[in-house]
Amino acid sequence: MFRNALEPWHLVLILAVLVLLFGSKKLPDMARGLGKSMRILKSETKAMKAEAVAESPERPRATADAGRE
């Protein structure tokens, strides 16, 4: 159903609509802001994962290995 959902002409159409809506001067600023937001989100996600790993108690290896035998 969604086999060829996003073809190159779709991207061109989306870009054209963005240029018409926001103008060519604001697009670089918007892209920069989006990039900064993605970097912040990525670093926060990594920090949350590291915190979750540090807080979780370690499982004993004997029980994990016992199921394989």
- pTM for this model (two decimals): 0.53
Helix 27-55 crosses helix 8-22 at what angle (to 10 degrees)?
110
* pLDDT of amino acid 17: 92
User: CA-CA distance, 56 to 50, in Å (whole number)?
Assistant: 10
- pLDDT tens by residue, 1-48: 567 777 888 889 998 998 899 888 888 898 899 999 999 999 999 999
3-state SS, residue 63: helix
The pLDDT of residue 46 is 95
